[in-house]
Every structure is written in C-alpha cells, then in structure tokens.
Structure 1
Amino acid sequence: MQYENESNSPSFIERARRAQILAAAVEVVANEGFGKASLARIARQAGISKGVVTYHFSNKDEILEQMVTDYFNRGWEFMEPRINAQPTAVGQVKAWVSSQLEFFTSHPAEFFAMAAVMSNHLNDDGSSRYDNDNQEAVDGLAEILTAGQQEGQLRDFNPARVANIILRSIDGVLSSWATTRGRDDGTMNLTADIEALEDFITHAIEKESS
C-alpha cells in the first residue's frame, strides 16, 4: 500500500499565499489591463516582494494560466450540480446556459481578467494557450446533447457543432453584458436575454412530438 507523502503537499500558508498572489493578479489585469501584469506589479498589488511571488510561481505565465484554470474550475463546481439536477437533456442544456452566465456575471472582475488573459496570453506561434479548455467545454456539452438524442429527447444534428454554437451564443450574451455593464439605459436585460437564449436553444434542439 502506498501512502501520500504529505510533505509534498502545499501547506495551508502556502495555499493562502498562492491565492493571495492570484487575487492580486486578477486585480491588476482587470483594473489596469493585461499589459500591466508584470511580476513586480502583481507583487506590489499583493503587498509582498517580487521574491515571494517567484517562490510560489516560476514565472508570470504560470500565474496567468493558474488564474484561468482556477476560474474555470470554480465555475464548473458552481454549474455541475445545477446541470445534474435536471432530469432531461433540454433541462441540462438550459441549466448550463443559465448557471454559466450567472457565475460569470456574478464575478465581474475575475471575468474581465480571465477574458483579457485568454485573448492576449498566446503561444509563441500566436495560437491560444487555452484551446484545450474551450474544447473540454464543447465536449462536455456535446455529451449531454448526444445522450439526449440517444434517449429520443432531441432531434438529429451534429452534437459537437451545435455545442460550439450554443457556447458561442453564451459568449455573445456575455459580450453584450460586458459592453453595457454599469449603464442604466435599458439596452441590456440579462435575465430577459438568458430566457430568450434558453427558448431559442430549446426550439433548436428539442425533438418535435409526433
């Protein structure tokens, strides 16, 4: 029998310090922009030395990647039980839409920071570092759609392509929300947009009763 070597696990203090650094990075990116997110600026935001930052993270790339990973992990922890609580595929898709939009819009600073990092933190060849994250979301939603087809709840279509379209539609609502956030001119009603998107998706995927 093998036992986990607890000495290799980060201590509570180490986890707290890493969380502090990540929170500081979020604030810098969200408030000052991606280009300002240097190790020195993150350290200053956190109220610690740059040496403390590099003790916990090898470089800025690691911080930014961990920011995105943590955000998506917490988002999925919020979404998963709401999705699984629905007994039908249509209900699960609608729960995916509403819970993702609820989580993202309830954490605006982190959302704007995450969006900035994903748009600007690229590989050397200009490709996105986060294609795998996007593909995992497509695959997860496509799995729900496939199960719904197999159970006779949904009509015939390509699950992966439709999953991608649904996720891009969520991005569209988020883009509108981000653009109009803080304005009180009636140009954006998030609740109404979520309901309209859910209604549109339901009509697009649900199998017509004979």
Structure 2
Amino acid sequence: MVKTKDKIIRKSVELISLYGYVNFSIGNVAKEVQVSKGVVNYHFPQKELLLEAIITQYYEKAAIYMGEHMILEEDAKRMLESYIESNLRFVSENKAETLAITEIVLNGRNENGELIFVDENNSILNPLIEIFQYGQDVDRSFRKFPPEIMARAVRNVIDSFSSTIAKEEMTDIDSVIMEIKTIFDKATERSD
C-alpha cells in the first residue's frame, strides 16, 4: 500500500511536470490526492520541504540508477561515456520527474526572489572532475585541460538535452547519446 506521503510526492511531480511550477499549489495536490490541505501540511509543513523531498528522491534514484549502469573498471574514456549514457537513459526513463525537477530548480525562489535550490558547492561536478583527473593523471587517455571547465561543459550539455528528451522534443535517445559521447571524446582526446 502506498503511503500518503509518497502519494503527495508523486502527485506533486505529476502536477509540476504537467502545469509547471508557477501553477503548483498545496491545495491542488490535496485535491488530487483526495485529502485535506491539513494532511499535506502535516507531512510537509512548508511547500519548500515538499519540493526538497521531490528533489532528494529524484537525485537518490538517479544515483542508484547510475551506480548500476556506469562502467568504472575500464579507462577514463569509457567511464565518461558511461556517465553521459547513464544520465541520459535515466532521464529518458523518468521524463515527468525530470520535467518537475527542472521546473523546481529553475523557478523555486524564496521571498527575496533568490533561487532556493542552488548547488552552491557544485557537488554535481565532482564525479566528472574525478573522471577527468584520472584520465589526465593516471591512465593518460585525456589531454590536459582544466577539469572543472570540462565538467561544467558536460553537465550543461546533459542538462540541456535532459529537458529536450523529457519534453519529447527528441525521441531518438540512442543518436543523442552517441553524438554527445562523440563530442566529448573529441574534446578530451590526446593529440600525441
């Protein structure tokens, strides 16, 4: 049996992905789950706590998926390829959640108009930075470049295509993955 708290999270994801962050309200969630606003507020006393739960659940699910699908035993080039592929396949299999997360992260603001969900430490870049450092310093499959700059480039491309894939503006996921892997294979390859 699905717990009320989980129903609230699922319905919130659905509503945000369909109607956007601006049109999202606790009242609409309560109505759709067929509970009172008080029940929603019992589980999530503040709207931000509900949004945070959605984000946390998404990233935990993504981490598990990537952990199961990434190849870590081979060289850095293969690790990078599997990082890109596992990210985009996860998005392809979780379109509504990806749309909701994008809406929340881009539009969730506090009373001062500041974005609420900002990765201030850029922790999302750390796995890529580690892959690039390994590829430069250990297996020497990558040319020298600033790992953080390349990590930002990879994340920006993945994030941009994640939205496109989630909105079903591009449906040939295999071609998308192949082209992005090729772009970063060329961008990181050694010339000697």
Per the normalisation by structure 2, the TM-score is 0.89
Q: Is the 8 A contact 1:86 1:95 kept in 2?
A: no
Q: Is the counterpart of residue 30 in structure 1 residue 13 in structure 2?
A: no
Residue in structure 2 matched with residue 195 of structure 1 by the alignment: 178
Gaps in structure 2 of 5+ consecutive residues: none
After TM superposition, the structure 1 = structure 2 runs for residues 61-100 of structure 1, keeping only pairs within 5 Å, are 61-100=48-87
Residue in structure 2 matched with residue 155 of structure 1 by the alignment: 143
Distance 1:103 1:125, change over 3 A: same
Residue in structure 2 matched with residue 171 of structure 1 by the alignment: 159
After TM superposition, the structure 1 = structure 2 runs for residues 116-155 of structure 1, keeping only pairs within 5 Å, are 116-132=103-119, 135-151=122-138, 152-155=140-143
Q: Report how far residue 79 of structure 1 moved.
A: 0.6
Gaps in structure 1 of 5+ consecutive residues: 1-12
Mapped to 1, the partners of 2:55 and 2:48 lie a distance apart of 11
Q: Is the counterpart of residue 49 in structure 1 residue 32 in structure 2?
A: no
Distance 1:188 1:38, change over 3 A: closer
Higher relative contact order (CA 8 A, sep 6+): 2
Mapped to 1, the partners of 2:62 and 2:80 lie a distance apart of 16
* Partner deviation per Cα, 1:151-200 (whole Å, 9 max, x = no partner): 12211000011000011111232243345x27xxxx75321121011011
Mapped to 2, the partners of 1:118 and 1:88 lie a distance apart of 33
- SS of 2:22's partner is helix
Distance 1:62 1:159, change over 3 A: same
Mapped to 1, the partners of 2:120 and 2:34 lie a distance apart of 31
Q: CA RMSD in A?
A: 2.2
Q: Is the 8 A contact 2:92 2:173 kept in 1?
A: no
Distance 1:124 1:143, change over 3 A: farther
Distance 1:206 1:16, change over 3 A: farther
Aligned length: 191
Mapped to 1, the partners of 2:132 and 2:146 lie a distance apart of 9
Q: Is the 8 A contact 1:24 1:43 kept in 2?
A: no
Q: Report how far residue 125 of structure 1 moved.
A: 4.0
Q: Is the counterpart of residue 108 in structure 1 residue 95 in structure 2?
A: yes
Identity of aligned residues (%): 25
Higher CA-based Rg: 1
